[in-house]
Copies of this chain bind each other. A is one copy, B any other.
Amino acid sequence: MNRIVTFGEVLMRLSPLGNKKMKQTNLLEYYFGGTEINVSISLANFGNKVKHISCISDDFIGETAIGYLRQYNVDTRDIYRTSRPLGMYFLEVGAVMRPSTITYNRSNSAFSGVTPDMVDWDKALAKGNWFHWTGITPGLSRGAYETLKEGLKHAKAKGFTISSDPTYRSGLWKYGVDPKDAIQDLMQYVTIFIGGVNEINEILGTEYGYENDDFIAASKALIEKYPNVEKVFDKIRIAINASWQKIKARMWNGKEFKETEAIEITHIVDRIGTGDAFAAGIIYGLLNYDDFKAMEFASAACALKHTFPGDINYATVKDVEHLLSGNTGGRVNR
C-alpha cells in the first residue's frame, strides 16, 4: 500500500459566512487548511494512507487541529507541539469581479518556529514511499526551510518519489534567504514537478511565455538543469471572474506533451485549495494510472474541489471517475 507523507504548516482559516465582510457579522466559520494538509486529506479521501508532519501549538487550538486531521484519517503521530500559537488566516470571500481577500497571522506561528531537531525523520518516514512538499514551507522561516531540506534528504535516501508544488508566494520569504536560491537548492530532490511556466521562470530565471510550445521548452530546460525531475504537470485556470472559471491541464513527461479538455465551473463555491486538489490528483493518478489519465484525474479532481466549501477536496475516486465518465448533469444521487 502506498503511504504518502506531507510536511507543512497547519493553518486555521476563519471566514464570515457567504460573501460577507467581517464588518457585517460577528460570526465566523473556521476550518483548518494549509496547502500540504489539503493535499494530504484529499489523498486520504482517495483511500490512501497518509501522514502529515508539522509543528502545532500546545493548546486547545492545536488539539482541535489534530482532531480535525484525525477525523480525515491523517496520521498525526509525528506532529510536534510547541508553545507558539497556531498560524491562521482570515478570508473574505469575493464574488464575480470582486476578488477574495486573505490576511495572514503566521509569521510567529508554531510552524514558523519549527527546527530540524523537532522531527525524527527516520521514524516519521519509516513506512512511506511518496513525499510531497510545496514552495510555501521554505518561504516561512529558516527553520522550516532547514527542516524541510532534512526531510527531503531522508526521503531521497529512502527512495521516495518526491513531488513538489513550488508555488512562489511573494508575501513570504521575510527571513533573509533569497527564494530563488532556496528553491534551486531544494529542486535537487524533486521527481514530479507540479507547476507551470511561472514557477519554472522563477527557478531558472528565464522568461518563457504561456503557449504550449513555451511550456514544453520550459519543461525541457527544467529537466535539463534538474535531471531528477521526471515529469512536469501544469494546471491552467481560465478565469471569467471569481465565480466562473475553466480548468485544464497540460504535461511534459520527458517524452510527450499532452493537454486535457477544459472543464467549466459555472458557479464556484470555493476556490481555496483547488491547486492542492490538483496536486493530490496527480499523486493519486501517477500511483494508479498512466501519465495522461493521471492528469485528467487531477484536472477533474481540481474542478470538483471548486464545488466544496472550505479547503478540503471531499471528492472520492468514485466521484472523480463519475465526472470523467461524462456525468456533468448533476443528477441527484439517491
Hey, which bits of chain A sit against chain B, CB under 8 A? Answer: 14, 18-31, 57, 59-61, 63-64, 67-68, 70-73, 84-86, 88, 90, 92, 94-105, 107-108, 169, 171, 239-244, 263, 265-269, 271-272, 303-304, 306-310, 312, 314-315, 319, 322-323, 327-334
Contacts and interface: CB of A to CB of B under 8 A. Distances in A.
A269 to B, nearest CB: 5
The list of the 7 closest CB pairs from A to B, nearest first, reads: A242-B330, A108-B108, A239-B329, A85-B105, A71-B71, A59-B103, A98-B307
24 contacts: A18-B309, A19-B308, A19-B309, A22-B64, A23-B64, A24-B26, A27-B28, A28-B30, A67-B73, A70-B71, A85-B103, A96-B306, A96-B307, A97-B323, A98-B307, A98-B319, A99-B331, A101-B333, A102-B332, A239-B330, A242-B331, A243-B267, A243-B330, A272-B332
Number of copies: 6
Instruction: Output the residue of A25, A99, A308 with the most chain B CB within 10 A.
Output: A99
A314 B21 contact: yes
Nearest to A94: B330
Contact of A22 (B61, B263, B312): B61
Given A21-B308, A86-B105, 13 more contacts: A19-B307, A26-B29, A60-B92, A98-B307, A98-B308, A101-B332, A102-B333, A169-B334, A240-B328, A241-B266, A241-B329, A243-B267, A244-B267
Contacts of A100: 330, 332-333
Nearest to A334: B102
Given A71-B68, A71-B70, A60 B21 contact: yes
A330 B105 contact: no
Given A29-B26, A309-B24, A332-B271, A101 B60 contact: yes
A302 to B, nearest CB: 12
A160 to B, nearest CB: 26
Given A68-B71, A244-B266, A267-B95, A28 B31 contact: no
Given A105-B105, A239-B331, A269-B19, A303 B67 contact: no
Contacts of A98: 304, 307-308, 315, 319, 330
A14 to B, nearest CB: 7
B25 A26 contact: yes
Contact of A108 (B57, B107, B312): B107
Instruction: Output the residue of A22, A90, A105 with the most chain B CB within 10 A.
Output: A105
Nearest to A19: B269
Given A100-B333, A332-B99, A23 B267 contact: no
Contacts of A23: 63-64, 67, 71-72, 314
Contact of A96 (B30, B330, B332): B330
B303 A97 contact: yes
Contacts of A63: 23
A245 to B, nearest CB: 8
Contacts of A265: 96-97
